Amino acid sequence: MLETRCLHTASYKRDWSIVKISEYLLKVIEGIGITHGFSLVGGMAMHLNRAAGSGALTIVYCNHEQAVVAAADGFARADNFARPALAIVTSGPGVTNTITSVSSAYYDSVPMVLLSGQVKSADINSVGVRSFGAQETPHIALLRPITKASFSYDPSGCSNEQLGSMLALSMTGRKGPVHIDVPLDIQSQDVKTSDDVEEVVRTYCDILDADANQSLILPAELLDGLCQAKQPLLVLGNALKIASIAQDDVLSLVNCLNVPVLLTWASMDLLNYDHPLVFGCAGGLAGTHSNKILQSADFIIFLGTRLDLLTTGYNPSAYGKNAQRYVIDCDIAELGKLEGLPKLKTIRGDVRAAVAELTRVVALSEEKIRPWLALCRSWEVENKEAELNAFAEKKLNTYHIADCISGADSTRYVVPTASGFAVEGFARFYKTTRGSRFAWAGHVLGSMGLAIPSAIGAAVRLDECIACVDGDGGFLLNVQELYTIKANPQLSIAIFVLNNKGYASIVNSQTRAFHKTFGADSCSGLASIDFAKLADIATLEYRLCQTYEQLNDVVNSIAKGTRILVDIWMQDDGYRGPSISTKFDAEGRPYSTELEDISWR
């Protein structure tokens, strides 16, 4: 079961009585198990800043509010989504600067508490003008659509039980950020005691305990269908990671069912790629074997995967189209979007309970499953042979860079940026081995620029060197965080820059559409980047890699404590393997390639 990690009353000394609201909130934060936070200080958060910096929390100070939340996001992922991360910002621009990172955390279901300062209550706009208080903006209206809860805290209108319940939203159901806005005058009120803190923590823990002990009864038709299937398939999504399900429990499920397993890009590190039942990630940019298995299955259980447009090649209806499909997820809205699709049924339930129930299912007999597994493995061998032929020459393309980094003992935790032509190729070919982790710096939103602060968050949480993989374009979007790395020399980070001299994906799309580029490279308005000078800012060692052999030497030299920026001059990132493409029918209407039809060139 999920450990709630509540510290309860045992963590409190009873030699304090009445405290400020700011201190009360931070003691509550400590009480629910949070040990670290990320912040950029500001005048309207001054009491929150003092309380955070004076207590038991370790606070890392970033240099932009977008990075504050992104670092908290990276910490939560490295912490296996097991407790909320903490971000503290000031009012107005402090909050507006967080919106990209908060959106990313919300879409990716990352548990987080965002504390923001606000102008004093008398200065909050109540007269309908555009701007009233100094550095005031409508925080709640901006953040409510991209958080599980966003509210202004006032002790006269929010009981201890209500506060505990709101905090618990970050960790229950589909996880996500909770935002608490605290006006400056409220922060400094002396009205709370240790008993108040304990009541909040107790409420929070009771809710998490109940959530962790949900049950689920799987329909008989699902269990019967699984037993009768000739070519069954299990697709495991990122919700299993978000639910903090232990890898041993995932392995038990897979070994118990004894059927082929596919993962998604977001869940690729749930299992090692070389597990005998794991056959990669199906989709629009994938190995041919994965898509053949998906489209040949006659019975599929999708567990904790949303079947979003990118995963399904923009066609959820055809994703596993020849199978009877069951989708198990806790989010009723995600299930609702699938209603009406042919041969697809949805089950709303907790994935932890679903894993427990499916693990009790009697495994399919070896004799019955053997022909199907043999077919899957033959397709896997064919794909591997084609892959090796396509990338026979060892040079600095996404295939060999991913192979080098994923195979090394020194780079076991990888934080890639969420968008970019080269990074997508890197993700496509990355192979999880020996329990390595692939923790996207954002995923669903696809924002560039979050890799460095996310890697900082991971480095704060883990006692190892974090491999941060970014493109040269995305690197600049939070370049100020090099100073955060400089200010924290204890953080071990290896930044790998996939340097293709600009925005390669934009260059490609503009060239295809317009036969010309605009603001996408040094020939169309961008400056070349001197990464050696940037490495010096952060007191990082700088290494330039222009050959695969140079990269391999650098990767093998990395150890715990390493702080380095590796500038990889891409030699060829034009081919990323089989992918769907847009074609046109006889009447000129566009359509996408069927997943089972994509092939190696």
pLDDT band at residue 467, thresholds of 50, 70 and 90?
A: very high
More confident residue, 51 or 134: 51
- In this predicted structure, the answer to whether residue 561 has a pLDDT above a threshold of 70 is yes
Q: What's residue 573's pLDDT?
A: 57
- Cα gap 220→369, rounded to integer Å: 21
- In this predicted structure, the answer to whether residue 6 has a pLDDT above a threshold of 70 is no
CATH architecture of 220-386: 3-Layer(aba) Sandwich (3.40)
- In this predicted structure, the answer to whether residue 596 has a pLDDT above a threshold of 70 is yes
pLDDT band at residue 314, thresholds of 50, 70 and 90?
A: confident
- Cα gap 307→291, rounded to integer Å: 14
Q: What's residue 313's pLDDT?
A: 87
Q: How many residues does the chain have?
A: 601
- For the entire predicted model, the pTM comes to 0.94
Q: How far apart are the two ends of the chain, measured CA to CA in Å?
A: 47
Q: Which CATH class is domain 396-569?
A: alpha beta
- In this predicted structure, the answer to whether residue 293 has a pLDDT above a threshold of 80 is yes
Listed residue (196, 179, 154, 18) closest to 102, CA to CA: 179
For the chain, which residues make up each domain, given as ranges? 8-212, 220-386, 396-569
On the CB side of 558, how many CA atoms lie within 13 Å of its CA?
A: 32
Strands 582-584 and 590-592: antiparallel
Contact 273, 431 (CB under 8 A): yes
Residue-averaged pLDDT of the chain: 93
- In this predicted structure, the answer to whether residue 5 has a pLDDT above a threshold of 60 is no
Q: Which tens digit of pLDDT belongs to each residue from 349-403?
A: 999 999 999 999 877 888 899 999 999 999 999 999 999 999 999 999 999 999 9
Overall average pLDDT of the 110-115 stretch:
98
Percent of the chain past pLDDT 70, that is, above it, reads 97
Q: What's residue 509's pLDDT?
A: 79
- In this predicted structure, the answer to whether residue 521 has a pLDDT above a threshold of 90 is no
- Cα gap 416→403, rounded to integer Å: 14
DSSP code, position 523: T
pLDDT band at residue 12, thresholds of 50, 70 and 90?
A: very low
The two three-digit tokens of residue 243, written as one number: 């639910």
pLDDT band at residue 218, thresholds of 50, 70 and 90?
A: very high
| Domains 220-386 and 396-569 equal at CATH topology level | yes
Question: Which CATH code is given to the segment(s) 8-212?
Answer: 3.40.50.970
